[in-house]
Structure 1
Amino acid sequence: MSGLLLRTLRGENASERPIWLMRQAGRYLPEYRALRAEKGGFLALVYDSDAAAEITLQPIRRFGFDGAILFSDILIVPYAMGQDLEFLVGEGPRLSPRLVDTALDGLRAAPERLEPIYATVAKVKAGLGAGRTLLGFAGSPWTVATYMVAGEGSRDQHVTRAMAYRDPKGFQAIIDAIVEVTVDYLAGQVRAGAEAVQLFDSWAGSLAPAEFERWVIAPNAAIVTRLKAHFPSLPVIGFPKGAGEKLPAYARETGVDALGLDETIDPFWAAKALPEGLPVQGNFDPLLIEAGGPEIDRQATRILDAFADRPHVFNLGHGIGQHTPIAHVEQLLAVVRGWRRP
């Protein structure tokens, strides 16, 4: 029998709620920090399939979450498209050459860089056990493009937004190329054992409405359509962070099976505004789980109650912070595990 998380993503509104946390495999866990100190830098861990599988499974062993999210990074796609990738301590990821300076066709594709990720998925699947769902993921084309164009992250994606206005045809070619690789990449994860996938659009909130339609909704719809052609029953979670009032249009037009909500979205508004019966995921504030206190119980219960009448996967509004105490995660987990739909 399928686990609670997978059933919920497929539309079942059970009396209890599944839970997993974005970035649950990572720096807040002492076992992760110990393994990283032993193995080396972030990219080295991602490409060590044994280590990456171990990291993916660590929060399952400690907390018993309903889903395991693959330990990897959204920038594996541009790395496979031929950009060089490095993670600088204290500065974050860097891609080169930047596509604001270099033509897309100047990159030499390296699809072999995806193979170790599939090996990780297979290892996790073998060790996950029954009743828990393995989640694959990729970055959505707009967010991936912001890094490919600028070579790094930014607060407002100025370089990429300006390029999209200045040269929409050239930028469309970048988006189309990302869609192609992303479909292949996610299909490879599914063949290796992923049972659901999430599309992370961390910078979706930086776009004006017309640009959101073109650079967020349209490419995500293309990915969903093409994945469904190969895997009709595969649940696809869309997470357009910062989309706000554009969420209902995203939900209707992309064809995603479930919608991730960030912490800025009022859950009672979302429960009324989003398509009836659509599973939702979220949207507890990552800073609150880090801060702790009785407000964890109150806010978690408020979210659970708001989504009582539709399928709901409890999660954070974005990734868990590296300074989050283990006890706070356990407190949140107890609230979710103790809640039942009225």
Structure 2
Amino acid sequence: MPGPLLDTLLGSNLARRPIWLMRQAGRYLPEYRALRAEKGGFLDLVYDSAAAAEVTVQPIRRFGFDGAILFSDILIVPHAMGQTLEFLAGEGPRLSPRLIDTSLEALQRVPERLSVIYETVALVRSMLEPQTTLLGFAGSPWTVATYMTAGEGSRDQHETRALAYRDRHAFQAIIDAIVEVTIEYLCGQITAGAEAVQLFDSWSGSLAPREFERWVIAPTARIVAELGLRHPGVPVIGFPKGAGEKLPAYARETGVGAIGIDETIDPVWAAQALPQGLPVQGNLDPLLLLAGGDELDARAREVLDAFAGRPHVFNLGHGIGQFTPIAHVERLLGVVRDWRPA
């Protein structure tokens, strides 16, 4: 029998809402900080399967979430495609060479950088109880391409957007290559034990509607269709952060099995605008979880009430913050566990 999270992603509207939180394994947990100090840098943890598996299950042990999400990073794909990946203290990730400066053909793929992740997935699955759903993930092609092109994140992705306008053929080749690797990567995770996967499109909100159709919806639809052929019945959650009013088109045209929504979306609007019966995931503001108090309780119940008529996975609108108190997470869990539809 599937656990409540997988059951919901497959379309069941359960009275008790399943819950997991983006970035639930991370720096707000003292056990994570201790392991990170022992192992060294972030990539040292990611590429140590035993350590990465331990990090993945830490929040399950502490909170009993309904889902465990693989501890990794969306930039593992460009790393496997041949770029050098570094995480610089206080500055974030850096990829080199930048594709704004060099050609895609100059990169030499390193597939073993993906194989380690599959080992982590298999190890995590062996550590979890059957009712806890294991989620794999990858970055969506547009978001991954922004890092590969510019070598780092930016506020408006101007270099990548300019390249996409200036040289459609070259940028399409970048997207196509990412799609190919992402399909193989997610299939590898599913084969190793992931029961559902999420596509993170963190920078989708920077695109104009026509560009959103070409660089977000179309590549995502290709990935979802191929996963459906190779692994029928495995749900794909799409998370196009910042998509706003483009969410309904994304939900209809990509074929995702569930859609994650960020904290800027009115849940009442989303419940009405999205395809009927489509499972929704989200969308409490992570800063509410940081702040805590009665407002946290009230707003969490508002999200739950808004999606009472459809399958709903409770989550944040983005990742849990590093300084979020443990007690606030416990309080949120109590609210979600106690809630029932009117």
Q: TM-score, normalised by structure 1?
A: 1.00
Matches within 5 A, 1:8-157: 8-157=8-157
Shift of 1:130: 1.8
Task: Measure how far apart 1:280 and its partner are.
Answer: 0.1
Deviation at residue 291 of structure 1 after TM alignment: 1.0
Residue equivalent to 1:6:
6
Distance 1:121 1:164 in 2: 34
- Structure 1 match to 2:297: 297
Structure 2 counterpart SS, 1:155: coil
Q: Deviations over 1:57-101 (max 9, x none)?
A: 000000000000000000000000000000000000000000000
Provide the rounded CA distance (Å) in 2 between the counterparts of 1:92 and 1:263: 23
1:278 matched to which residue of 2? 278
Please state how far the C-alpha of 1:138 moved relative to its aligned partner.
Answer: 0.1
Query: What is the match of residue 308 of structure 1?
Result: 308
Unaligned runs of 5+ in 1: none
Partner of 1:164: 164
Moved over 3 A (4+): none
Name the residue aligned to 1:196. 196
Give the equivalent residue in structure 1 for 2:232.
Answer: 232
2:179 — aligned with what? 179
- SS of the aligned residue for 2:341 comes to coil
TM normalised by structure 2 equals: 1.00
What's the CA shift string for 1:210-262, capped at 9, x where partnerless? 00000000000000000000111000000000000000000000000000000
How many angstroms does 1:293 deviate by?
1.1
Aligned counterparts of 1:316 and 1:9: Cα–Cα separation in 2: 16
* Secondary structure, aligned partner of 1:169: helix
Displacement of 1:204: 0.2
Instruction: Give the distance between the partners of 2:224 and 2:31, measured in 1 at CA.
Output: 35
Instruction: Give the partner amino acid of 2:219.
Output: P
CA RMSD of aligned residues (A): 0.4
Secondary structure class of the residue paired with 2:24: coil
Structure 1 residues 247-290: Cα deviation after superposition (integer angstroms, max 9, x where no partner): 00000000000000000000000000000000000000001101
SS in structure 2 of the partner of residue 304 of structure 1: helix
Secondary structure, in 3 states, of the residue corresponding to 1:313? Answer: strand
Q: 1:341, 1:47 → 2: CA distance?
A: 43
Q: Distance in 2 between matches of 1:130 and 1:279?
A: 21
Question: Distance in 1 between the 2:115 and 2:341 partners?
Answer: 42
User: Aligned with 1:294: secondary structure?
Assistant: helix
Q: Aligned-pair distance for 1:340? A: 1.0
